[in-house]
Amino acid sequence: MPRHLTINEIIALAPDQASIQPARDASNERKWLTVATGETALWGQAHGSGSAPYQTAVDLTEIAFKCSCPSRKFPCKHGMALLLLFERNPAKFQQGDTPPEWVSQWLEKRNASKEPKLQSGSAARTSDPAKDELKSAKKFSNVAEGLAELRTWLNDVIRQGLAEIPSKGYSFWDSIAARMVDAGAPGAARLLREMAGIAATGPGWQQRLLRRIVLLHLLTEGFTNRETLPDTVVSDIKTTLGWTINQEDLFLLDGIHDQWQVLGQRFVEEDRIRARRSWIVSARSNEIALLLHFAHGNTAFPIPLSTGTAMDAEIVHYPSAYPQRGALKSYSFTDNFSFSQLVSLSILENLCRYSSAVSAQPWLERYPFILRSVVPIQSGSEWYVIDNDSNILPLSQNFDRPWYLLAQSGLKPIDVFGEWDGDSFWPLSVITQEGLVNI
Amino acid sequence: MLIENIMTCAVLGTERAGVLQFSSTGLDGGLLSSLEQDDRETYLLNAAAVVLLQRRAGYIPAKNSSSLPNPCPKESLTDCGKGMSGLIREAIGGQFRSVFPEALQLIRARRQRISFFLLVDILNAGVAQKNLQVSISEVVGERGKWLASQNEQWSYACLVTSTAVTAALNNDASSLFSIWSTASRAEQSALLSEMRIYCSDTALAVLQSTWKDETAAGRIEIIKCFTSNPKIEEEPFLNNALDDKSIEVRRIAQKILTTIPGSRFSQRILAVVSQFIRFDKHVFGGIGISVTIPQTFDPEWKNYGIDESSWIKDVGDRAWWFIQWISLVPPEHWTTITNETPASLLRLADKSEWSDAIIIGWTKAAALSSDTDWKLAILQHWSRSNDQRTSLSGLFPSINDLADKADDLIIERLDRDIESLHDNHSALPLLQQYTNVWSDNLSRRVIKSIQRTCRQTVKTPQPTWHTRALLKSAALRVSPMLADDFENGWPVIDKTRDEWKSAVDEFTQLLRFRHNLYKEMSYE
């Protein structure tokens, strides 16, 4: 019997908000001629606007979709509708059937495409090492040139003084950011573009801006002196500059096999690219990893994850002086996850861990906090959490759901999971005896 | 001090501020003195990197020195559960919003409360939908009320505090005066309802302490509180309200006074009405009805809310005066004084030259006093006469209080015209006024009728507005346990009949959603 995805997990698959309602509408039983389920898949035939019904199938092992409808959205409403219908009324699905040919062929093709991946990686690729080396040298040289310009630009900013910054327009930042993109350092470009708004963030902006400038400065210095730095620090510099690591290479490394559960998620969108940060925790070692997924335009995130989703998985961490980001080497969803091992900490204990992390990896932008027994309180327009030791953490001024947190607490201590960015805390979920509650 | 020096230098710029200066003692100073000082900018950035990263890594949280407010009181209701809360979240906005009130009622009936994670959404929903505020305040539990007390826009959910209820229970006049004087209008209305139950004398005294200073809108809100179960001891206050400057306050006071049995106001009305209508016993048995209406309008009648000119088509001014007077007398009075049933009195009225005026007056009176015997008799009376939908529409705003009898009445009409539920079907207006959950029998009859209509591809290629409206309301009224049955039985609807397709889809989806709600509640 295939695993049921929860409503939240199905909704998380939607390519955009506007696709949810059509999928709900299409999940009406009357709209399906047949629905059936096998060991690892669902399939059905849906009434459509064409003369022939649409053939829709869902691979439940890694959640993949196939549909004969002409929709450009992915997954289309029929794929999501089939999952919604199954979640709501599994009894309607004919069970134990051998899949029809169009489903079995698709599943076989998917399985076949998975196998070579395990053998692959840079070692298995048939590229020319000399060419690769040349390419890599050119890349380093481009970035080095770009960062040298950035260094000059940063020195100019410091020479003229931050007091000049509020009078600068967006193009001041955008032109140097564009240069960084050309140089092959999109990560540096992102940091620069984010800096454009800091002067408008109210009192204390000068120090916040200087902190960003300093991080870029460290990046240029670190890149220049990379030969003298440990590999893990060089990896952090490359990652911060925006270099991608080939996942096939990454999967050559050993990962952590365990049961993992999504503790909390945050979504951001920029230029039609949606990013999803999912923080996951392992059952045995209590280790936390960050999974980053991206979706463009109308496409769905590749894996349906929502707060509370549990899976048996092997997670490989990206190389770093403080490994945090991970990738799913293999996974299968599970319904049995025990939270008994989850350790929450006081504010001070969390800050101590953060201290070690940021000392090892100064470009770390966010760090996961599992706060023990905190109470949310409001003071004027500001919100805070206070723990049993009377220590206070400010909530981010952009956090727009403090009332949801207060509703969960009722001024009684609660365990809260969220992200600390060095200045403020952003709650993502509340840990209750019944499980995780999304905030 | 080092950070201040760095910041000053960075803000002014090294061009103006020169080289960063600092004391070489202390941890920072010791670390910084090892940095190369070849160029001013790099030196400042290196120093800033050391100090700012050190501060970031060594973040020390502030300490709270003030005591925390009291936490929320303990819950007395149980949580309605994750499944139900998930469905409620879907019902708050979007496609299934029409089911939201029913979902609230279900939770209320089970004496449960909304899950904490949904409280903010549900309290916000009450801000937008004022008609649901009472239902919402009853399902948010202690946590919801406590939360609402922290946020002014949600104050509707915590109108009566436990302190106020205790004061009302103990008839603690001084506390009640004090609470009343600082309460918002909505809080006053809620408190007045409590006081009228537990200490009606004090309620009137407290109310009158601020009555004269209230705005017209405030007086209207407050006087509306007396609509439910008005008491004879409240009559003097309501009588005074008949002289209020606001027409609306006067109108509401008149309406309430007519419903207080034995009130002086109703006795005065009876005294006037008995001059207009009389029941005479015939020598050979039976009774006759005679109507006498004055030729001129008495200005004194305005004190009773009587309009001088008729605004109803085909009803003259004199008939209109009569209708208004009759409507002020609870119809039970006529059955009591004649010892006749409503049906026989209606038959008697038919024989009068003023038959329409009498029956319209009684109809209005039955609606005003919610007299179910009279309502049923009137509906049956209209049913027996030349009943077309025009003769029934708008008779009563609702026939929910007739319960099973309404079912029978509608089924009787459906049976009489079985072919389809066309726009002129006599059952339609009754179905529109019957907003209770329909019996299984009625539900099946109505849906079968609509399905028959749908099959008539030539006569009804697309559903009419009335049919769509009926399907929409049927989705909310038919028994949700029949969802499986009602997803079947529809003809295959081809593409050219897209409106039928969407109407039926909408019906089945809404019904399925209600089915899930009920299922969820029964599983808990």
Domains of chain A are 7-119 (no CATH), 129-241 (no CATH), 247-334 (2.40.50), 347-438 (2.40.50)
Would the CB atoms of B95 and A28 count as touching at under 8 Å? no
Contacts with B65 from chain A: Cβ below 8 Å = 390
Q: Three-class SS of residue A121?
A: coil
pLDDT in tens, B121-141: 999 999 988 888 888 988 999
Q: Show residues of chain A in contact with B489, CB under 8 Å.
A: none
Contact B45 A213 (CB under 8 A): yes
Please compute the mean of the pLDDT values over residues A417-424 and round it to a whole number. 94
Q: Do A162 and B10 touch (CB under 8 A)?
A: yes
pLDDT score of B389 more than 50: no
Cβ–Cβ gap B117/A437 under 8 Å: yes
Q: Do B64 and A358 touch (CB under 8 A)?
A: no
Q: pLDDT band at B383, cuts 50/70/90?
A: low
Q: What is the mean pLDDT of residues B251-258?
A: 86
Min Cα distance B423 → chain A (Å) is 27
Does residue B394 have a pLDDT over 70?
no
User: Per-residue pLDDT tens for B34-74?
Assistant: 777 778 889 899 999 999 999 899 999 999 988 888 888 88
Taking an 8 Å cut-off on Cβ atoms, the answer to whether B516 and A88 are in contact is yes
pLDDT in tens, A38-62: 888 899 999 877 678 899 999 887 7
Q: What is the pLDDT of residue A339?
A: 60
Residue B128 at interface with chain A, using a CB cutoff of 8 Å: no
* Structure confidence at residue B443 as a pLDDT band (50, 70, 90): very high
Query: Is the Cβ pair A163, B13 closer than 8 Å?
Result: yes
Q: Scan residues 184-243 of B and list those with Cβ closer than 8 Å to A.
A: none
Q: What percent of chain B has pLDDT over 90?
A: 23
- pTM of the full predicted structure? 0.77
Q: What percent of chain A stands above pLDDT 90?
A: 52
Q: Is B424 on the interface with A (CB under 8 A)?
A: no
pLDDT in tens, A283-302: 888 899 999 998 887 777 88
Count, residues in chain B: 524
Q: Evaluate if residue A120 carries a pLDDT over 60.
A: no
Q: What's the whole-number average pLDDT of chain A?
A: 88
Tell me what pLDDT residue A348 has: 96
Nearest to A386 among B64, B119, B150 (CB): B64
Rounded Cα distance, A83 and A126, in Å: 40
Amino acid B390: pLDDT:
42
Nearest-angstrom CA–CA distance, B506 and A25: 8
Q: What residues of B are in contact with residue A348 (Cβ under 8 Å)?
A: 61
Structure token digits, residue B325? 């007077």
Q: How far is B444 from chain A (nearest CA, A)?
A: 19
- CB-nearest to A158 from B10, B69, B150 is B10
Going by the DSSP 8-state scheme, the letter that residue B495 receives in this structure is G
Between residues B155 and A263, the one the model is more confident about: A263
Indicate if the pLDDT at residue B393 is higher than 70.
no
State how far the Cα of B56 lies from the Cα of B37, in Å rounded to an integer.
24
- Chain B nearest-CA distance from A272, in A, is 25
User: Degrees (nearest 5) of the Cα angle B196, B256, B269?
Assistant: 135
Assign A225 a pLDDT band (cuts: 50, 70, 90): very high
Query: Looking at the partner chain, which of B41, B46, B94 has a beta carbon nearest the beta carbon of A21?
Result: B94
Q: Quick one: pLDDT at residue B124?
A: 95
Cβ partners under 8 Å of residue A243, min gap 6: A184, A187
With beta carbons less than 8 A apart as the criterion, state whether B218 and B187 touch: no
Look at B68 and A386 and tell me if their CB atoms are within 8 Å: yes
Average pLDDT, rounded, for chain B: 85
Any residues with CB less than 8 A from the CB of A159 and at least 6 apart, and which? B13, B14, B15, B40, B41
For residues B221 and B189, is the Cβ–Cβ distance under 8 A? yes
Q: Which residue has the higher pLDDT, A271 or A407?
A: A407
Condensed to tens digits (0 to 9), the pLDDT of residues A351-393 reads: 999 999 999 999 999 999 999 999 999 988 899 999 999 999 9
pLDDT at A151 exceeding the cut of 80: yes
pLDDT at B184 over 90: no
Say yes or no for a CB contact (<8 Å) between B45 and A31: no
Asked which of A231-240, A244-253, B155-164, B383-392 is least confident by mean pLDDT, the reply is: B383-392
Is residue B79 within 8 angstroms of chain A, CB to CB? no
Which H helix or E strand runs over B369?
helix B355-369
pLDDT at B388 over 50: no
Considering only residues A436 and B282, tell me which one the structure prediction assigns the higher pLDDT: A436
Would an 8 Å CB–CB cutoff place B116 in contact with chain A? yes
Q: Where are the domains of chain B?
A: 2-57, 79-158, 162-260, 266-385, 400-523
Taking the CA of residue A364 and the nearest CA in chain B, the distance in Å comes to: 11
Provide the token pair at A143. 């970035």
Q: Of A406, A424, A433, which to mutate for an interface test with B (greatest number of B Cβ within 10 Å)?
A: A406
User: Which chain B residues touch A211 with a CB distance below 8 Å?
Assistant: 52, 56
Sheet with A435-438: strands ordered across: A435-438, A425-432, A414-420, A367-379, A382-386, A391-394, B62-63
Please report the ipTM that was assigned to this predicted complex: 0.79
% of chain B at pLDDT higher than 70 = 93
Residues of B in contact with A155 (CB under 8 A): 39, 41-42, 45
Chain A interface includes B65 (CB < 8 A): yes
Q: Which residue of B has its CA nearest to A436?
A: B117
The answer to whether residue B200 scores a pLDDT higher than 90 is: no
> Residue B382 pLDDT more than 80?
no
Judged by average pLDDT, the poorest of A258-267, B253-262, B385-394 is B385-394
3-state SS class at A44? strand
Residue of chain B whose alpha carbon sits nearest to that of A354: B57
CA distance B111 to chain A (A): 20
Q: What is the SS3 assignment for B66?
A: coil
CB contact under 8 A, A25 and B505: yes
Give yes or no for B517 touching A (CB within 8 A): no
Nearest to A410 among B12, B53, B72 (CB): B72
Judge: B61–A160 Cβ closer than 8 Å, yes or no: no
CA nearest neighbour of A236 among A320, A174, A156: A320
Which residues in chain B are closer than 8 Å to A29, comparing Cβ atoms?
A: 487, 508, 512
Around Cβ B324, how many Cβ atoms within 10 Å?
A: 17
Look at B310 and A396; give whichever has higher pLDDT. A396
